[in-house]
Structure 1
């Protein structure tokens, strides 16, 4: 019995979760379940990962999905297919080729005309010298010059037409390269569908909604921010925006977008811990889904072998070229896997049980294995094909139960080997998935998005997230075409605390800089990225926002503040102390004067620095009310000897800060002419 064609359901893309590289897409489809329970959900992209396909029925009751597999169909485009950029590129390419041909033919004619030269007749030995016909020479030269002038004039027109055609062709090719890939490539339309098997619907047809989830490569994102601040308010708005680029083969139109910093390809399975027992040795348990080969498998092809060898097929060029290093195309040396056989028909492919294929790499994967001869049973004789190597040449199978790989656990890709297979492969199931160059080309073009140059001051999320993973859900639906360029998506507003502070280091530069101290009041980290700062509804600058952990505070510089002035004055007094004056005392005085010319109060932080010594005989005594800053990590790390003054200045007020330190140097440690250096 053969199953009939599955009923087709159209699907719409509902949500996308963009990871550091790659995306997880979710499609919704609705329809009535046929009596056989087989439906085909269409609209999937050509770049999807077949091992990531998941499907479920929305709702708590009703049918459930028992099997899901990917099927690909290709068909030529009809004559009514719309002419897009690809047809325009092909037309302009023909125009460019025709213009180049005309230019080349004109160059050939110019070369022919330019090669015209007067050729005197041959003179015999006894003939006297003849007079040269100057008029004929001049007439020929005039003819050549006139023809070359006209040809060069026409050549200039042909070259101009060639440059125009080449420019139009390059522009169209660039538009095609930047256009969305959600269109059939070439003249063939490829349709990717998810074939689902549902049960529990009963005899009556019921309308259900199915969610199909799959992973695709070719999607990246980096965070960006927009900060709006009003002077004097002490509050602001920080809007998280993301620059998203994708070339997955389908346009994201009106979808719910979420952004995650995790690695989509990283395995997150729980490890299988084997129990350690004290006592007698026990054999390892075989996987629960493994079954021994059926009885009589060795004699399954007895009639086929008795019919004699098949007629030898002519050796084709590709078969002859497959012999490398003395290894025939149909075999492989010891220690290497043999070449995969041609894919078997759909009727010979392995079918899954009622539970469907287990998730690739999921928790249920170790509990299932290949069925019906995925690995030879211990002690079972392996059948041998005519002309196959002897059993002594075949390496024995490893002892113990079979250890299936993730590819062998993918039941949909298992192929039943025919009677022409060598060794122990006849009549058994193996994961020999054929290589599809078209799909490989789609995936290669999609993965090229990871090499896009980043926007200014942008940082990839995996670099700024550290050892934690975060997810940000966009507040509204968005559109991101599959063109491989950056698109801005607004995620939402983030509650942050803002405090305007002014910072200066007058010992280095007598300039006061305005900063905004941002405090992260959320439970998620704010990733590093560019932030557009707007002050009083006017764009100020684009700064680099560092990564803010939950509860952390970082400064964002806004540039010099012309309304706040600072002046630093220093003085030095040298004296001696001690019973015999054997200690040199260098007294350094520092005076910092601040003036607030703004119409609002400001908070100023003044940085100073005192000397640091490693000699225990040299003492440094501070005489100021400054404080030592708390040591931080990364950008918050201060230089040794840093001291800080913090004060609040009212509008139009001035203040003076006095401080200093003494350096006591023993006479034996003094340097002539060097002690007065600060």
Structure 2
């Protein structure tokens, strides 16, 4: 299992950090060394610039941990090892330094971090900052598009609720069970859409915060020709000349990764291949060149303490005192904040991928990406292959001919990995043809993944116009019987048989004077619900065309005004 870097706070660096040369010292030897240091004559520490490079990067969903390595030859004595030109927005609480020098009696005395300023002309400083701001602006545009799409989806679900729960003149009333099913179905989708919008809004806030920092940096360069960076100074003492191999690690914002998937279903062998990618981008002001890359699902920002639970009290309501006059003039945004709310707001066969090595722990999963990776600062999206899930999949076809003249394909597969497949965007391919792009929720180990593959054009559907017959009933012709007949033609143009499920509905009477008889379909292949909706199983051979009927009669007194019928 891959060891995770420690993210504990360590702002005070006056104490020695871990060094291999020091770990085996007994307390008595450490005390003797400290006494000798107190009586030694004062000497100015020699300053050595660390010739470091980024060797390893661990990317989290909203930040990254950078590992810099350096190798320096030093003489005996005390030295200041300086790591310069680091990102200005390093998280100081995350700084860690480790070093070893064989048989040199190496001690780490002190680690500090201070702001630094580098001369930067218009051609390098401002140009680089402008490039990063432009990348953030592109990201903001994408997030704005996503939020608009989220808003449209939320509005559609709410409109769907209203349109189906409010009875119209030409719409039969919903039964209690049907109404509850509708609320449950739409409520689940509405909750998911609201959560997705909230996540996109949080991502936008993070990008805006990062953009503000870059704007301040650009302004600073414009004013005095300097670019703010940061430097870390490590004070070392060596008993004799040595080569010091060191690692400096720190966490920086402006980096992220998110899961994306390519799902490819092959109808010839009935297998689904789900390729799991990590899409990485970074605007940390440092290029990651030829580095070992690890992607982690951990969220360092969330903390580890158990939330405190306050008592829940119920009491007699106290009349609300009227708001003072000056407060009534505040804006809608301020009112929302005062009330504790938030403001309103065809592809050929491809070569296989070399996938990452996943490691799961009790709290997160890491993916060790094979080989070396190069990701430049600037926000460009780069895909890395994480893993592939390839298993026989259950393909099903379903259609709702009253709503759409199309057959929709769905595949189901179990997650046999020992880690979850995180929520992300899925590009679906059916027999190497791109068919759909959709969002997938998180699928935990052993859970079933149901993936929509869109419309299968090889199976055609045609709904013929309504046939309606009217006749009088009763000895005196006092009643009316209306017989309705809908015909759906389905043709399987595939080279193999298919199994389909057709969804339709019979009308349901809301009054005892209205008698509805279900004529067709019937039989054991029909699963009928109490609200009149049904699912009908169909089997079509290769090249077969089938006519499927929906037929029913409605009988009622002639003097009764009936609504909800076409």
Out of 74, 80, 90, the residue aligned to residue 48 of structure 1 is 90
Please list every run of 5 or more consecutive structure 1 residues that lacks an aligned counterpart in the other structure: 90-176, 274-467, 631-638
Distance 1:83 1:581, change over 3 A: closer
**Partner of residue 71, structure 2:** 30
Out of 534, 537, 549, the residue aligned to residue 643 of structure 1 is 534
TM-score normalized by the length of structure 1: 0.44
Pairing of 1:353-432 with structure 2 (within 5 A) = none
1:192 paired with 2:230, answer yes
* Counterpart Cα distance in 2 of 1:677 and 1:472: 59
Pairing of 1:149-160 with structure 2 (within 5 A) = none
Out of 426, 433, 437, the residue aligned to residue 543 of structure 1 is 437
Distance 1:247 1:644, change over 3 A: same
1:603 paired with 2:499, answer yes
* Counterpart Cα distance in 2 of 1:543 and 1:602: 24
Out of 522, 531, 537, the residue aligned to residue 417 of structure 2 is 522
* Counterpart Cα distance in 1 of 2:273 and 2:102: 41
* Counterpart Cα distance in 2 of 1:244 and 1:495: 21
**Partner of residue 552, structure 1:** 448
CA offset digits 1:241-267 (Å, max 9, x no partner): 444332211111222334455554333
* Counterpart Cα distance in 2 of 1:269 and 1:66: 32
Distance 1:73 1:658, change over 3 A: closer
1:491 paired with 2:385, answer yes
**Partner of residue 490, structure 2:** 594
CA offset digits 1:469-511 (Å, max 9, x no partner): 765553443222212x332222333315544443321122333
**Partner of residue 21, structure 1:** 62
**Partner of residue 70, structure 1:** 113
Tell me the CA shift for residue 4 of structure 1: 0.5
Please list every run of 5 or more consecutive structure 2 residues that lacks an aligned counterpart in the other structure: 1-41, 130-213, 310-362
CA offset digits 1:261-297 (Å, max 9, x no partner): 5554333346799xxxxxxxxxxxxxxxxxxxxxxxx
Out of 247, 252, 255, the residue aligned to residue 288 of structure 2 is 252
The two structures, once aligned, show a CA RMSD in angstroms of: 5.1
CA offset digits 1:351-393 (Å, max 9, x no partner): xxxxxxxxxxxxxxxxxxxxxxxxxxxxxxxxxxxxxxxxxxx
Whichever structure has more strand as a proportion of its residues is 2
Distance 1:675 1:39, change over 3 A: closer
Pairing of 1:219-238 with structure 2 (within 5 A) = 219-238=255-274
Pairing of 1:16-415 with structure 2 (within 5 A) = 16-31=57-72, 35-36=77-78, 39-42=81-84, 44-57=86-99, 67-74=110-117, 76=119, 187-188=225-226, 192-197=230-235, 203-205=239-241, 207=243, 209-260=245-296, 263-269=299-305
1:261–1:469 CA contact under 8 A, matched in 2: yes
TM-score normalized by the length of structure 2: 0.52
SS of 1:225 mapped into structure 2: strand
* Counterpart Cα distance in 2 of 1:63 and 1:601: 75
1:479 paired with 2:367, answer no
Distance 1:572 1:82, change over 3 A: closer
SS of 1:509 mapped into structure 2: coil
Distance 1:189 1:486, change over 3 A: closer
Distance 1:189 1:509, change over 3 A: closer
Larger radius of gyration: 1
1:11 paired with 2:52, answer yes
SS of 1:265 mapped into structure 2: helix
2:436–2:454 CA contact under 8 A, matched in 1: no
* Counterpart Cα distance in 2 of 1:645 and 1:612: 18
1:528–1:544 CA contact under 8 A, matched in 2: no
Tell me the CA shift for residue 519 of structure 1: 5.0
* Counterpart Cα distance in 2 of 1:88 and 1:15: 23
2:68–2:248 CA contact under 8 A, matched in 1: yes
Tell me the CA shift for residue 216 of structure 1: 1.3
* Counterpart Cα distance in 1 of 2:270 and 2:559: 52
Tell me the CA shift for residue 657 of structure 1: 4.8
**Partner of residue 508, structure 1:** 403
* Counterpart Cα distance in 2 of 1:470 and 1:640: 45
Tell me the CA shift for residue 206 of structure 1: 5.3
Moved more, 561-570 or 545-554: 561-570
**Partner of residue 565, structure 2:** 677
**Partner of residue 345, structure 2:** none
* Counterpart Cα distance in 2 of 1:190 and 1:21: 22
Tell me the CA shift for residue 596 of structure 1: 1.1
SS of 1:495 mapped into structure 2: strand
Tell me the CA shift for residue 606 of structure 1: 1.5
2:463–2:486 CA contact under 8 A, matched in 1: no
Aligned length: 376
2:435–2:453 CA contact under 8 A, matched in 1: no
1:473–1:491 CA contact under 8 A, matched in 2: no
* Counterpart Cα distance in 2 of 1:73 and 1:239: 44
1:510–1:568 CA contact under 8 A, matched in 2: no
